[in-house]
Chain A
Amino acid sequence: MTHRARTEAGQQAATEHPARFDMEIIVGYILLGGVLVSMTLVTAGLAWRWIATGQLGLDYSIGGMNLFEFVLTEVRQVAADAVRPRLLVNLGIAVLMLTPYARVLASMLYFAFVERNGKYTLFTGFVFSVLTYSLFLQ
């Protein structure tokens, strides 16, 4: 296919799906941002622990709570000014888990309000509901 033909095909695609570009950009940057923030928090927490104690290892587990309880516990500690290495690592794990969740939420809102595509609003709504249920599991 010639360059001109490709350009025309691209323009045709843009006309057929004017909102497609934005959807992909939004989803792409949510995923990228989530992973970067998560890795930064975990790395910062580990580096802080190493500087403070000379050790990298963490020796605790998250005792059977769902993601929302987990996030709430961490946010309360941030609010109480109880920032410590372990909190940063926990926040990093929480942000990582919330990344695909946020991506599904953004897709659902996009399909509902920008593309106005009822079918895919329903599909992403189903995925979002099941994920929300699973993240509330006890």
Chain B
Amino acid sequence: MPVSMPFEFLFLISVAAGFVGAMSGMGGGVVLIPALTFFGLDIKHAIAVSIVSVIATSSGSASAYVRDRITNLKVGMFLEMFTIVGALAGAAITLVSSHRPLFFAFGVVLLGSWAALFAARHQTWQPEKRQDAFSKWLELQGRYDDQATRETVEYRGVRAYLGGPLMFGAGLIAGLLGIGAGALKVLIHDLVMGLPPKVSTTTSNLIIGVTALAGTSVYLAAGMIDPGLVAPAMLGVLVGAFVGTRVLVRVSNEAVRRFFQVILAVLGVEMIVRGIRG
């Protein structure tokens, strides 16, 4: 039975979610799911709608980053092995789960992302001096031309033996909650694998698309992909993300960071409250 929501309404919510998601760097799902459930959509359908729109935004932005040669394809392809298995497990858990734990998990993930970003706010990237044997065997080193500083940045990815299993967890959360889980992936790239921030973000974007596809396949097989909801959401999130990325370059990093932290905290608390209330 199709779940209905007026097209124009859903499109506008998705534009707003895409805009805020692009401004914050976390993608549209983090805002889209709370907004859809707030306006009465069942959380499992909201997750299924969101995860399809995640494929669109991830593929769109990753295409530019890959061609700019900032994304490290080998890092991405190694870590995808873990995230897709996690996403399949996460989506399967969502199908059998009741609604309250999903609200609660969503809130905890948002607040966890907020805390991690708050803790890492003063950190600056330093290149790793030594690369462990496993990461070297995986060829996880690279370089890119930084257009802002006009320098070539060389880096070595490290601790792949830890990064891989941790990415299983990021994939699990992505599949479970229908989000890209980009903040978590970026944290693993930054803090565990020692990748520069730009490489972290762009490589995370590449991984998100494949991870979301694995999750989507489970929701499709369960009959939860409803084109009447998916079509306006994927178009809206893409439009919002397109506008958001253009506004982003005109505002200061500090303003974006503060804006993002407020959004994460408010949505996180709101989802936990709804999980507790049922």
Contact = CB atoms under 8 A, between A and B. Distances in A.
Contact of A100 (B55, B138, B150, B152): B55
B226 interface: yes
B73 A107 contact: yes
Contact of A60 (B55, B81, B216, B227): B227
A28 B227 contact: no
A137 B71 CA distance: 31
Contacts of B8: 56
Interface residues of A, number: 64
B13 to A, nearest CB: 14
Given A96-B52, A96-B56, A100-B209, A62 B227 contact: yes
Do most interface residues of chain A lie in helix, strand or loop, or is the interface mixed? helix
B59 A1 contact: no
Interface centre among B3, B77, B145, B222 (most CB of A within 10 A): B77
Interface string B116-149: 0000000000000000000001110001010000
B59 A64 contact: no
A138 B222 CA distance: 8
B254 to A, nearest CB: 28
A61 B220 contact: no
Interface in A60-86: 60-67, 70, 86
16 contacts: A27-B66, A38-B56, A46-B231, A55-B7, A60-B226, A60-B228, A62-B223, A64-B221, A64-B222, A107-B73, A123-B78, A123-B80, A127-B84, A130-B81, A131-B84, A137-B220
Given A10-B152, A66-B221, A130-B84, 11 more contacts: A20-B69, A27-B66, A32-B67, A39-B56, A57-B4, A61-B228, A86-B227, A97-B52, A107-B77, A130-B214, A137-B217
Interface of A: 1, 5-6, 9-10, 13, 20-21, 23-25, 27-32, 34-35, 38-39, 42-43, 45-46, 55-67, 70, 86, 89-90, 92-93, 96-97, 99-101, 103-104, 107, 119-120, 123-124, 126-127, 130-131, 134-135, 137-138
